[in-house]
Amino acid sequence: MQATTIKTDTHQLPQAVEPRNPGMPLDLDWVSSVQANTSAIERRAKTISGRRSVKKDYQAAWLLKAISLIDLTTLSGDDTEDRVKRLCAKAMQPVRAELLETLGVPELTTGAICVYHDMIDTAVTALSGSGIPVAAVSTGFPAGLSPFHLRVEEIRQSVAAGAKEIDIVISRRHVLQGNWQALYDEMKAFREACGDAHVKAILATGELGTLRNVARASLVCMMAGADFIKTSTGKESVNATLPVSLVMIRAIRDFYDRTGYRVGYKPAGGISKAKDALVYLALIKDELGDRWLQPDLFRFGASSLLGDIERQLEHHITGKYSAGYRHAMG
């Protein structure tokens, strides 16, 4: 096996600390002015995959970057402590050591581990000393229909248990009814309950009806102090798509242009192939720039994606595709 050194910054962390989005008063004039040209957005989305093509060492470097941006996730009803421990081990060693050695990348981890509240303690213990944060889904995930005070308390308990990131779900009805004040107040309360833990606002875009609703909901959540906006829970019938991503990314760009605060982006659900990850990375680079290609501003919500990336990296080195079972998550 011939050594191939890949030049990549995936392990050169920590990066500069980004000022946290403090939020701002709700600006209904700004919200109501936001529109979405669906046909133009869909046309642009269709061109994304053909705009950038990376091959060989460059592709390998982008795939290594993608690994550092994955929130390695398990959100199943049959989750067990042993499954979470195995997933944490995979987060700390996402690619076989001999492959990383050949690629010239001595250290590489995923961006985070994402679990239900009951598994936070297990994950925190398993990841001790690794620097990998634990993210917890909260606020009645995935539907977000439990009583409001219980949703807020769930956040507080997850933070107390050691979660450094909280993935909340918004009340879709506020968006569908155009009740932006209610959405703002809800998001603001969730942000306050998180304290120092960063909050990712899951919009469940597949249930919001229109791209205009997605754009306005993105903006309101950022006004209320969201650190990230995220497409989906992964449980909806439609999850992350390129048109939705384009709308949310441009909302992030507009918010940064007006306020000077960078908000992160997390596509989740249905991103399982290495080639899909490359498309999303190209989209981020084109629309937001290189600064957003760091774990503090971009994440993939995924589980099977990592296995396919590892498989592609092995092919890059050996010229042969290995069986999927050789790249299990745990």
- Listed in sequence order, the residues at least 6 apart from 115 whose beta carbon sits closer than 8 Å to its beta carbon are 73, 74, 75, 79, 84, 122, 123, 134, 135, 136, 137
Instruction: Please give the single-letter amino acid code of residue 285.
Output: K
- Listed in sequence order, the residues at least 6 apart from 225 whose beta carbon sits closer than 8 Å to its beta carbon are 21, 22, 23, 187, 188, 191, 199
Cite the beta strand spans of 33-73 per DSSP E.
Answer: 70-73
- Listed in sequence order, the residues at least 6 apart from 288 whose beta carbon sits closer than 8 Å to its beta carbon are 249, 252, 253, 265
Q: Position of tokens 């010229």?
A: 319
Measure Cα distances from 259 to 130, 201, 221, 256, 263 in Å. Answer: 34, 19, 14, 5, 11
Q: Tell me which DSSP letter residue 290 carries.
A: G
- The whole-angstrom separation of Cα 171 and Cα 220 is 13
Count of alpha carbons within 13 angstroms of residue 167, beta-carbon side: 34
Of the residues 227, 266, 276, 296, only one is catalytic, namely 266
Instruction: Please give the single-letter amino acid code of residue 145.
Output: L
Of the residues 230, 276, 296, 308, only one is catalytic, namely 230
Active site residue 46: no
Of the residues 167, 276, 296, 308, only one is catalytic, namely 167
Q: Tell me which DSSP letter residue 205 carries.
A: G
Active site residue 65: no
- Listed in sequence order, the residues at least 6 apart from 147 whose beta carbon sits closer than 8 Å to its beta carbon are none
- The whole-angstrom separation of Cα 236 and Cα 141 is 12
Active site residue 90: no
Give the count of beta carbons closer than 10 Å to the beta carbon of residue 67.
25
Instruction: Please give the single-letter amino acid code of residue 251.
Output: A
Active site residues per annotation? 167, 230, 266
